[in-house]
Structure 1
Amino acid sequence: MTTMNQQLKYAKLIPLMLCFFAMGFVDLVGIASNYVKADLNLSDSEANIFPSLVFFWFLIFSVPTGLLMNKIGRKKTVLLSLVVTFVSLLIPVFGDSYGIMLCSFSLLGIGNALMQTSLNPLLSNIISGDKLASSLTFGQFVKAIASFLAPYIAMWGATQAMPTFGLGWRVLFPVYMVIAVIAILWLGATPIEEEKADQASGFGDCLKLLGRPFILLCFLGIMCHVGIDVGTNTTAPKILMERLEMSLGEAGFATSLYFIFRTLGCFSGAIVLQKVSARSFFILSVCCMLIAMIGLFISHELYVIYAAIALIGFGNSNIFSIVFSQALLAVPEKRNEISGLMIMGLFGGTVFPLFMGFASDAIGQNGAVAVMMVGVIYLLLYTWKIKK
């Protein structure tokens, strides 16, 4: 009987993991913004509006999504997010103008805000609390696969004229759109029993949770994590183009390298976090990023820059899962609201690229690295608040 229950649990995990893969579609904005910048001849600050716009919607929709889950349930909210994501991926098929890409990235951000807010607590309906951090990390591992595939698909589309039906690098969008459709159908057909919804809360009641010092620290930690994530995703190719005069096609490998090591970090984290304390692993992760930022500051050597990008990918891979699970376990009776607040912290993906764009326009890519360093220093200070 126990074996059958375990088999049913794993059967339900598969469509959820496919949803985590769809969650990774948001990371295509990094490489896509570089292609749009080249196509439309934009400055760094203008191009960085795209990732900033994507993550702006987390500020607007995350907390309302947490409240929406109380009314319609987590699974239905995830399905809604997948539908919005599907529409966002359909739009670029019809053109690549500035307005079209703004519309597409806006919907991609809205869909991802809905998805990240609802999918993580939906997973907690299947996985017990003591395994939640490692399970969330495995979900991030699956998400990272979609993230590091994006630059390769875009590069293939940009260099192969006929197979991409004239879409060029934008072939990335219909490829991921098909996967979104599969995720909608599979999750829709999967029965998932949800616990009784949290007691109805208002928007103000939800925001009041930020008055708890530990929850506020977690919120800022999520902001720094995603700021570093989106910042590296967007800036890594620019560093190579600035310092080594690479073409965008050649420099795009840096984004893939980041996500390759982020994927490896998530996979190893899913295993290590079952045996090692969250605090110890968190300290190791932040130290990797600190060393990497120093390397990006001082070196113009290709192998050092690649090593630094890889270290950031590995170090940043488990930050979200640990901070998110710490927040959920701190206030278990308010999981939907806490999830909304933590995902609202992904607004850091708006704040960091904006400051990085201005800083890099002023003094070059070292300015962008300096902005990310601020996030790393905060995470280093946050480690002393993590529960063992």
Structure 2
Amino acid sequence: MDQAQSQKKFAIFFPVFLSFFVMGFVDIVGVATNYIKKDFGLSDSMANLIPMMVFVWFAIFSIPTGMLMGRIGRKKTVLISLFITAIAMLLPLCFFDYFGALVSFALLGIGNTVLQVSLNPLAAAIVSQEKLASTLSMGQFIKAVSSFLGPVIVAFSASQLGNWHLAFLIYCIITVLSVVVLFTLPINESAASETPQQSSSFRQIAALLKDRHLVYCIIVILLIVGIDVGLNTSIPKLLMERAGLDLDDAALGTSLYFASRTIGTFIGALLLIKLSPVGFLRVTLIVAILAFAGMMLSSSLWPLLILIAVVGLACANVFSIIFTLALKHDMTHSNEISALMIMGVSGGALLSPIQGLITDQWNFTSGMSVILVSLVITGFISFKFKS
């Protein structure tokens, strides 16, 4: 009986956790941007349009996705997101040029937006409230593992398969597998009819934007996601310029960053049991600012790698802490606040174009100062929250 129950639990959770793995595919945009720039001889400003094409959709599709989910259900919404992601992964295999890359990553961004809005509620529909927090934490860990593996898969495709964008074939196969296994999962969504109507939701969101605490949370989410994408894109180029690595080796620096973030998530989960989230946030952001300033000044491989790891560790828990601070501030509007936080992921489209323009106008170090300024602003805002 116990074995049968274990098999049943695995059958239920495997499709959901596999979808969390697909959610991490969006982070391939950083290392892919460097390869696309090299393939087509792009300027920094042109290359940084690619991350923008991914993350701008979080501002556009988050609320409509919530409305769609209320009408057709969570499982169908997740399946739609996976289908869009599979198409995004298939396009570079059919035709590969700069325009095709923009279209592919735009679809990846749309699919990821729909997935992030709908997957957590889907998980909530199949677990008890007591186990929901641990289930979502495990999902975020799986997403982090996927993000960590992205540059490794790209480097493997480039060195062993002879073409880096064959990584999209691997991603496409995993996404199709996720569609198949989720399609077979029976889910009772009879209790999932709480989604607010569209008109009331927009009115509530407009009212929430009058709350200064929530505005601070949104700004931090915008900036930390922009910082994350900026680092994702900049780390390979930093290692190429400062340490003389080729692109295939330098791309693994992004994996180091994501590995550090994954470890940092575990350390943060343990420390935050006893420590104040606001105090922890302030200390880690100060560490991130100092470490990133050191990255801008360093020109040796090992100091750069150590500082990249420190920045990853320090930034690992900012998103989850801010998300928690926002939800705890007003639990009666948790759905609307969650939508606002996901919309804040569009910050990934905010900093990269600015960084690219400054790099083209002056130099790479000047472009990296955009990330430093964003970290400083985020650190300043952290002192606006009550301990």
The two structures share one fold, judged by TM-score above 0.5: yes
2:202 to 192, 201, 204: 204
Deviations 1:63-106 (A, max 9, x none): 21122222223332222111111111111111221121111001
Tell me the residue number matched to 2:99. 99
1:363-382 to 2 correspondences below 5 Å: 363-382=362-381
The answer to which of 286-295 and 231-240 deviates more is 286-295
Q: Which amino acid aligns with 1:204?
A: F
Equivalent-residue separation in structure 1 for 2:155 and 2:367 (angstroms):
24
Q: Which amino acid aligns with 2:101?
A: M
Tell me the residue number matched to 1:148. 148
Structure 1 residue 57: Cα displacement: 1.2
Tell me the residue number matched to 2:250. 251
TM-score, length-scaled by structure 1: 0.89
Q: Which amino acid aligns with 2:22?
A: A
1:143-292 to 2 correspondences below 5 Å: 143-160=143-160, 164=161, 168-190=163-185, 191=187, 193=189, 194-202=191-199, 204-208=202-206, 209-292=208-291
Equivalent-residue separation in structure 2 for 1:88 and 1:128 (angstroms):
34
Q: Secondary structure in 1 aligned to 2:350?
A: helix
Equivalent-residue separation in structure 2 for 1:97 and 1:5 (angstroms):
49
Structure 1 residue 281: Cα displacement: 3.2
Q: Which amino acid aligns with 1:216?
A: V
Q: Secondary structure in 2 aligned to 1:96?
A: coil
Structure-2 change in CA distance of 1:75 and 1:210 (3 Å): farther
For the 8 Å contact 2:67–2:195, the answer to whether it is kept is no
Structure-2 change in CA distance of 1:81 and 1:385 (3 Å): farther
Identity of aligned residues (%): 41
Tell me the residue number matched to 1:52. 52
Structure-2 change in CA distance of 1:141 and 1:102 (3 Å): same
For the 8 Å contact 2:45–2:356, the answer to whether it is kept is yes
For the 8 Å contact 1:61–1:110, the answer to whether it is kept is yes
The answer to which of 118-127 and 92-101 deviates more is 118-127
1:293 and 2:288 equivalent?
Answer: no
Structure-2 change in CA distance of 1:269 and 1:11 (3 Å): farther
Q: Secondary structure in 2 aligned to 1:288?
A: helix
The answer to which of 39-48 and 378-387 deviates more is 378-387
For the 8 Å contact 1:217–1:382, the answer to whether it is kept is yes
Q: Would you say how many aligned residue pairs link Structure 1 and Structure 2?
A: 382
Structure-2 change in CA distance of 1:238 and 1:69 (3 Å): same
For the 8 Å contact 2:88–2:105, the answer to whether it is kept is yes
TM-score, length-scaled by structure 2: 0.89
Structure-2 change in CA distance of 1:332 and 1:10 (3 Å): farther
Structure 1 residue 13: Cα displacement: 4.1
Equivalent-residue separation in structure 1 for 2:289 and 2:270 (angstroms):
23
For the 8 Å contact 1:74–1:121, the answer to whether it is kept is yes
Equivalent-residue separation in structure 2 for 1:205 and 1:253 (angstroms):
45
Structure 1 residue 224: Cα displacement: 1.0
Q: Secondary structure in 2 aligned to 1:152?
A: helix
Structure-2 change in CA distance of 1:187 and 1:39 (3 Å): same
Equivalent-residue separation in structure 2 for 1:9 and 1:328 (angstroms):
29
Equivalent-residue separation in structure 1 for 2:136 and 2:376 (angstroms):
24
Structure 1 residue 315: Cα displacement: 1.8
Structure 1 residue 282: Cα displacement: 2.2
1:24 and 2:24 equivalent?
Answer: yes
Equivalent-residue separation in structure 2 for 1:129 and 1:386 (angstroms):
28
Structure-2 change in CA distance of 1:186 and 1:178 (3 Å): same
Equivalent-residue separation in structure 2 for 1:82 and 1:282 (angstroms):
33
Unaligned runs of 5+ in 2: none
Equivalent-residue separation in structure 2 for 1:12 and 1:325 (angstroms):
27
Deviations 1:255-305 (A, max 9, x none): 111111112112333444344432243234323311221112222122221
Structure-2 change in CA distance of 1:225 and 1:13 (3 Å): farther
Structure-2 change in CA distance of 1:10 and 1:222 (3 Å): farther
Unaligned runs of 5+ in 1: none
Structure 1 residue 120: Cα displacement: 3.0
The answer to which of 181-190 and 60-69 deviates more is 181-190
Equivalent-residue separation in structure 2 for 1:13 and 1:382 (angstroms):
38
Structure-2 change in CA distance of 1:81 and 1:335 (3 Å): farther
The answer to which of 85-94 and 61-70 deviates more is 61-70
Structure 1 residue 187: Cα displacement: 2.9
For the 8 Å contact 1:27–1:147, the answer to whether it is kept is yes
Q: Secondary structure in 2 aligned to 1:211?
A: coil
RMSD between aligned alpha carbons?
2.8
Structure 1 residue 212: Cα displacement: 2.1
